[in-house]
A = this chain, B = another copy of it.
Amino acid sequence: MTHFLVRKLESFGPLPKDDVELIESLTSSAQGVKAHSDIIREGEAPGDVNLILGGFAYRYKLLKDGSRQIVAYLLAGDFCDLHVALLGTMDHSIAALTEVQLVKLPRESVLALLGRAAISRAMLMATLVDEATLREWLANLGGRSAEQRVAHFFCEWHRRLRAVGLAGDGGCELPLTQQEIGDTMGLSAVHVNRSLQALREKGLLTLRGRRLLIPDMKRLCAACDFRPNYLHLEAAVPAV
């Protein structure tokens, strides 16, 4: 079960055998969460840290006017709320996009993990990648047109899913409504619709059911200036 965590952390470099054993010895309780329900809400500070095993979730913030800004998507292997263990309170909420399977790690376990330098370091690296992604999103919202924004988002989505084996060269699942895409890109649902149509007319992508098809990834990347360097997928371990 916690293999997942080992795999995630070791994607940044091997862990000492001790550390792997520690992780695998942790007690944890799995549970399922229904689609569209909250996993944790802004302001909460519960004792456990959630780790996604399967399904998709997203981080979001509610604004005063009632609108919602989605600020990240979580895939299998991602931490939901390390923040809670370290910073005390959630400054945003997390909800399940699809049905989600997650494991809850008691906070003490997480703190024990952080007592291991190699694990702590791997978590820091994971956090740095998340941060880099947020910076790219910021550039996306601040500097690109609606059409480019959406295209860029799809490129990233596909790339991330491919990294965890959930996408082939042709396409991938995309369990999002246009409203949700809009909440992600700071656009209205109507405008997302129009942008999608423009992209379709250019033959840059197909969207059928909940499935995204990208006939020519190169062309799409070129159209929206997508350069995946910020995802640090090679995640080379720097030699010490």
Contacts and interface: CB of A to CB of B under 8 A. Distances in A.
A230 B184 CA distance: 19
Interface string A201-240: 0000000000000000000000001000110101110101
The 4 closest A-B pairs by CB, nearest first: A142-B186, A134-B134, A120-B120, A64-B225
Q: Report how many copies the assembly holds.
A: 2
Interface residues of A, number: 61
27 contacts: A43-B229, A61-B136, A61-B139, A63-B144, A64-B225, A68-B143, A69-B142, A72-B135, A85-B238, A87-B232, A88-B238, A89-B229, A92-B132, A107-B238, A114-B117, A116-B117, A117-B117, A120-B120, A120-B121, A123-B124, A127-B127, A134-B134, A134-B138, A138-B141, A141-B141, A142-B183, A142-B186
Interface of A: 43, 59, 61, 63-65, 67-69, 71-72, 82-83, 85-89, 91-92, 107-108, 111, 114-117, 120-121, 123-125, 127-132, 134-139, 141-144, 183-186, 225, 229-230, 232, 234-236, 238, 240
A82 B135 CA distance: 15
A105 B115 CA distance: 24
A118 to B, nearest CB: 9
A83 B132 contact: yes
Contacts of A107: 238
Name, among A85, A139, A186, the residue most crowded by chain B CB atoms within 10 Å (CB to CB): A139
Nearest to A238: B88
A180 to B, nearest CB: 13
Contacts of A135: 59, 61, 71-72, 91-92, 134
